[in-house]
Amino acid sequence: MSKPLSPDDIAARVAEDLPDGAYVNLGIGMPMRVAEFLPPDRECVLHSENGLLGMGPAPAPGAESPDLINAGKQPVTVLAGGAFFHHADSFAMIRGGHIDVSILGAYQVAANGDLANWALPGAKAPAVGGAMDLVAGAKQVWVMLAQQVGKDGAPRIVERCSLPLTGPACVDRIYTDLAVLEVTPDGLLVTDLLEGLSEAELQATVGAPLRFAPACRRLRASAA
Amino acid sequence: MIDKRCRTLADMLAQCPDLHDGAVLLAGGFGDAGVPVLLLEAIAELGLKDLTVVSNNAGAGERGLARLLRSGSVSRIICSFPRSAGSVVFEERYDAGLLALEVVPQGTLAERLRAGGAGIPAFYTPTAYGTELAAGKEVREFDGRHYVMERAIRGDVALVHAATGDRWGNLTYAMTARNFNPVMATAARSTLAEVRHFVDVVPPELVVTPGIFVHSMLEVGA
């Protein structure tokens, strides 16, 4: 098997699938990296749920403003064509089905699209943020998994989530270090597979039965 | 003549009829942006008891909401994301059993406040359906999809942080420091605004919070 995809490789693969003109919400952490790989021939408008459309990259050192931050509370910039709005309007965009794609991280995803990404057992005070609104309201929900298999060897793509759900049957696609999968009414369909990895080897890393697209694309990790 | 500008913080708090033991406070802000820090810290000195605070986060370090929590005046907090970098006072008091917590999805929190301000007692949303945050709540099916009933939130006092304000109480906000502030301003009996700069007139087309929602204001500088 070749080297698995790095988080940047996965972000670049996700960015390829974003259509021109899409309004996109990037979750805190790894999904934020997708912004760095948007193809130059496409214009996507990034939504930050704390009240910003047209989110731009981090400002130059010294140019940060405490009044201009993203949902992860990091300083950002605003691009031409952007807008500021209050929280009820921001979540009307999310809950009213105006956001084309929500990209999130996950602890577990199930074959029927159930998502668990907000609470771990033994965590002290729970915190949910906007995740439950995003998965209930965005037109498409895509999940990124830096490692398809947990450090303990347990698959993160499973038949049924054992962790508390963020939302039922809400995930449309899963991008991992080994594959790209679509959630379909007939279960998980693999559309992309890491170069050198056999179908049986991928199946061994997933806790639910897989089907493979006839023209399965091969993924290759970047040299770096 | 209408003039909602106050000279001092002490005047502003003394004139507010809705700051009392057991009051529900709505506190604007997201992370450190748009937090009414001076108002929160002044209320921490009043010796009130059993306050409920509604806020997206639960404060960080020892400033603002963290100082109010430290004062022991707050017994209950309604948040979407209480646990975040530096939320040590919240964690201490929560872990010690001194603070009851209700976790609410962020959009549901915003909509519960919007509904409260608009006279809507409850609404249905798909958010949180099928999760433990919907446990015990009424569920209804509309057009083949499941929705959870959520109740509106109204406060006794809303605390907001604005960029500019005029004597009628019209407010503007700086960039993403807007966040929950305009929604909370609509949903309380009394809305107190700390404003960076008073201006003669906020141009009517630029008003974000119309003065009808604001009861008193204090100029706090940038």
Distance from CA of A223 to the nearest CA of B (A): 35
pLDDT tier for residue B85 given thresholds of 50, 70 and 90: confident
What's the rounded mean pLDDT across residues B118-125? 98
Judged by a CB distance cut-off of 8 A, whether residue B147 touches chain A is no
Residues in A touching B82 (Cβ below 8 Å): 125, 127
**Helical pair B106-118 and A87-95, crossing angle rounded to 10 deg:** 120
Which pLDDT belongs to residue A125?
81
Mean pLDDT of B141-167: 98
Annotated catalytic residue within A16, A49, A64, A201: A49
How far does the CA of residue B60 sit from the closest CA of chain A (Å)?
Answer: 12
Question: Consecutive sets of 10 residues in chain A, 224 residues long: mean pLDDT of each?
Answer: 92 97 96 94 96 96 97 96 98 98 98 96 86 98 96 95 97 98 97 97 97 96 84
Residue A220, chain B, CB below 8 Å: the answer is no
What is the residue-averaged pLDDT of chain B? 97
CB contact under 8 A, A137 and B128: no
Task: Count CB-CB contacts under 10 A for residue A74.
Answer: 13
User: Nearest CA to A139 among A107, A105, A171?
Assistant: A171
Name the minimum distance, in Å, from the CA of A108 to any CA of chain B.
Answer: 14
B210-216: average pLDDT: 98
Residue of B32, B131, B173, B180 for testing the chain A interface, max A β-carbons within 10 Å: B131
Active site residue A49: yes
Q: Name the strand (E) or helix (H) holding B38.
A: helix B37-44
Q: Is the pLDDT of residue B41 over 90?
A: yes
Q: Which CATH code for domain B5-120+152-219?
A: 3.40.1080.10
Domain boundaries, chain B: 5-120+152-219
**Contact call for A133 and B104, based on CB within 8 A:** no
- Among chain B residues, the shortest Cα distance to A124 is held by B95
Which percentage of chain B shows pLDDT scores above 90?
98
- Whether B60 has its CB under 8 Å from any CB of chain A: the answer is no
Percent of chain B that is helix, strand, coil (3-state, to 5): 25, 30, 45
Q: Which residue has the tokens 């398809």?
A: A148
B106 CB near a chain A CB, below 8 Å? yes
| Other residues' Cβ atoms within 10 Å of the Cβ of residue B50 | 12
B198 has a pLDDT exceeding 80: yes
Residue A50 sits at the chain B interface (C-beta within 8 Å):
yes
Residue A134, amino acid: L
pLDDT of residue A1: 63
Q: Alpha carbon of B44 to those of A120, B70, B71, B94: distances in Å?
A: 33, 8, 6, 18
Rounded to the nearest angstrom, the minimum Cα separation between B81 and chain A is 4
Residues sharing a CB contact under 8 Å with residue A100, sequence separation 6 or more, in sequence order: A19, A22, A23, A24, A138, A139, A140
Which of B141, B175, B176 would you mutate first to test chain A, the one with the most A CBs within 10 A?
B176
- DSSP calls for A76-143: -EEEEEEEE--HHHHHHHHHTT--SEEEEE-SEEETT--EE-S--TT-SS---TTHHHHHHHSSEEEE
Residue type, B216: S
B123 contact A CB<8A:
no
What local confidence, expressed as pLDDT, does residue A224 receive?
Answer: 67
> What is the per-residue burial (b if ≥16 Cβ within 10 Å, else e) of A19-54?
eeebbbbbbbebbbbbbebbeeeeebbbbbbbbbbb
Q: Which residues in chain B touch residue A27, judged by CB atoms under 8 angstroms apart?
A: none
A49 touches chain B (CB under 8 A): yes
For residue A197, CA distances in Å to A34, A211, B34 come to: 25, 15, 50
Facing B111 at nearest CB: one of A51, A84, A91: A91
| pLDDT over threshold 90, residue B90 | yes
Residues 6 or more apart whose Cβ sits within 8 Å of residue A37: A8, A11, A12, A14, A15
- On chain B, the residues whose CB falls within 8 A of the CB of A124 are 83, 91, 94-95
Q: What's the order of all strands across the beta sheet hosting A52-56?
A: A77-84, A52-56, A45-48, A23-26, A101-105, A140-145, A173-176, A179-184, A187-194, A210-219
Question: Which CATH number is associated with domain A7-219?
Answer: 3.40.1080.10
Q: Which of B91, B129, B174 sits opposite A125 (nearest CB)?
A: B91
Note the pLDDT of residue B209: 98
Across the interface, do B104 and A87 touch by the CB < 8 Å criterion?
A: no
Per-residue pLDDT at A126: 87
Cβ–Cβ pairs < 8 A, chains A and B: 151
Give the pLDDT score at A141: 98
Q: Where are the domains of chain A?
A: 7-219
Nearest-Cα distance to chain B for A129, in Å, is 5
CA distance B101 to B26: 15
Chain A 137-166, residues with CB within 8 Å of chain B CB atoms: 137, 164-166
A94–B129 CB contact, under 8 Å:
no
Average pLDDT estimate for B63-86 = 96
Q: Report the pLDDT averaged over residues B13-35.
A: 97
- pLDDT for B219: 98
